[in-house]
Amino acid sequence: MPPEHKPQQTLNQQPDNGPAPAPALAPTPPLIRVTQPHLPPLDEFIPYLEQIWESKFLTNGGQFHQQLEAALCEYLGVAHISLFANGTLALMTALQALGIEGEVITTPYSFVATSHALLWNGLQPVFADIDPVTFNLDPARIEAAITPRTTAIMPVHCYGIPCDVRAIERIARRHGLKVIYDAAHAFGVRQDGASILRHGDLSVLSFHATKVFNTFEGGAIICHDAATKRHIDLLKNFGIQDEQTVVAAGINGKMNEVSAAFGLLQLRGIDAALAQRRQIAAHYRRLLAAVPGIDPMPDMGDDANNSYFAVLVRDTYPISRDALHQKLHDAGIHARRYFYPLITHFPMYSAIPSAAPANLPHANVIANQVICLPIYPALDAQDVERIVGLLAAS
Ligand SMILES: *Cc1c(COP(=O)(O)O)cnc(C)c1O
């Protein structure tokens, strides 16, 4: 029988003559991904589910949705929040809520949802370069990109590092522009003793599984007055005002009751999770101080949420960033090159004049140097030491 016709042996099909041989694999340490979702003990979630089954209220702004909005306003120190099914719908709705038209200045150094939300609103993204230290939009480059068609700025607090919010606010005032922060990385981030989410006309959070605070999938818009919140709440529910009245071409962006209930439970553990992240980041920083050519992202101390631990692989490091990425991968460490490639390298953006690499020198350099090391509450100190050991041995 030619070899390709041999019956395949799988784990479920043991050979007739005796037990399957033990797998001849050397024990390998478990795979470490860049992040791991934070989950509370399952049995603590059952009572919430029982309440949902009892009430048969699954969505449309039920009791858990209302409770989570109130609890998040309190936890984050913001006036109004509107929950969404995910952060991308929240970004799209934020642009609708402010009636943004024409051109919007944004960053190439982000997850692609930031600028996709612009395209889904028929808006023209205009890319400006980043500051190479904070990874956030450089205010001077924002101002230089303004045209008569500019109506808004959409910056990102990348890795939870605050944008230069004061400079952005001055530019927005001077030119009559709206500011919508993509704050998907910035849950719990503070500056000058208060939430970073108080800045801009609107801020948008993501509660995706990979984020610091997750509701499986979820998101939110933070706004500053009750009228704007009412408008956003209309837009996320088809524009329905009452049984007989539809006042806007809204969308379905609502968070369901299971996710909202889960958010309430997650919120109980968030301070402990953030404290664990802080310890891990501090451990990385201590050990990496002795590794030449590897520069960690700026340290914001207790104001940070340590949602990511980005390091830059400089030219002085013995091997390339991609070789290091592969080396880690081969050792079972799945670090990620966020944000490489830049948004401006994807085909739906690359032909836009402002997407040209010559317009975005810092973003291009950083995208080629960055690597995000694993960080999540359950990552233990020995794993951090093993990862830094691999970085030190190149
Ligand atoms: C995760 C993320 C989003 C999208 O959020 P989802 O909840 O996954 O839709 C948007 N912007 C940035 C910067 C993100 O990291």
Closest-CA residue to 159 (of 387, 373, 382, 381) = 373
Decide whether any atom of ligand 1 lies within 6 Å of the 205 Cβ.
no
- Per-residue pLDDT, 6: 39
Q: What is the pLDDT of residues 66-107, one digit of tens each?
A: 999 999 999 999 999 999 999 999 999 999 999 999 999 999
CA of 272 from ligand 1 middle (Å) equals 23
Measured CA to CA, the distance from residue 133 to residue 130 in angstroms comes to 9
Specify whether the CB–CB gap between 211 and 231 falls below 8 A. Answer: no
Tell me 147's DSSP state.
-
Measured CA to CA, the distance from residue 181 to residue 109 in angstroms comes to 14
Q: How confident is the model at residue 110 (pLDDT cuts 50, 70, 90)?
A: very high
CA of 287 from ligand 1 middle (Å) equals 30
- Per-residue pLDDT, 224: 98
CA of 205 from ligand 1 middle (Å) equals 8
Report the Cα 189 to chain-centroid distance in Å: 13
Domains of the chain, first to last: 42-128+135-268 (3.40.640.10), 271-392 (3.90.1150.10)
- The pTM is what? 0.92
- Per-residue pLDDT, 30: 81
Say yes or no to pLDDT of 35 above 50. Answer: yes
Measured CA to CA, the distance from residue 68 to residue 268 in angstroms comes to 11
Q: How confident is the model at residue 394 (pLDDT cuts 50, 70, 90)?
A: confident
Tokens 């409770």 found at: 67
Question: Which residue CA neighbors atom 10 of ligand 1 most closely?
Answer: 113
User: For a pLDDT cut of 70, what percent of the chain falls above it?
Assistant: 93
Question: Residue 223 forms beta bridges with which residues?
Answer: 80
The two structure tokens encoding residue 52: 């949902």
- Per-residue pLDDT, 360: 98
Q: What is the pLDDT of residues 161-174, one digit of tens each?
A: 999 999 999 999 99
Say yes or no to pLDDT of 12 above 80. Answer: no
Say yes or no to pLDDT of 183 above 90. Answer: yes
Please give the average per-residue pLDDT across 118-144, as a whole number: 98
What one-letter code names the amino acid at 62?
A: G
From the CA of 91, give the closest atom in ligand 1: 10
Q: How confident is the model at residue 331 (pLDDT cuts 50, 70, 90)?
A: very high
- Per-residue pLDDT, 2: 41
Closest-CA residue to 207 (of 117, 307, 334) = 307
**Could you check whether the bond before residue 339 is cis, i.e. omega within 30 degrees of 0?**
yes
Q: What is the pLDDT of residues 185-216, one digit of tens each?
A: 999 999 999 999 999 999 999 999 999 999 99
From the CA of 207, give the closest atom in ligand 1: 7
Q: How confident is the model at residue 373 (pLDDT cuts 50, 70, 90)?
A: very high
Decide whether any atom of ligand 1 lies within 6 Å of the 118 Cβ.
no
Say yes or no to pLDDT of 1 above 90. Answer: no
User: For a pLDDT cut of 90, what percent of the chain falls above it?
Assistant: 91
For Cα atoms 220, 222, 224, give the angle at the middle one, nearest 5 degrees.
160
CA of 91 from ligand 1 middle (Å) equals 9
Q: How confident is the model at residue 13 (pLDDT cuts 50, 70, 90)?
A: very low
Pairing of strands 219-223, 178-182: unpaired
Decide whether any atom of ligand 1 lies within 6 Å of the 190 Cβ.
no
Probe residue for ligand 1, chosen from 206, 217, 251, 305 as the CB with the greatest number of ligand atoms within 8 Å? 206
Please give the average per-residue pLDDT across 365-370, as a whole number: 98
Q: How confident is the model at residue 21 (pLDDT cuts 50, 70, 90)?
A: low
Measured CA to CA, the distance from residue 325 to residue 367 in angstroms comes to 13
- Per-residue pLDDT, 15: 41
The two structure tokens encoding residue 18: 């005796």
Decide whether any atom of ligand 1 lies within 6 Å of the 136 Cβ.
no
Decide whether any atom of ligand 1 lies within 6 Å of the 113 Cβ.
yes
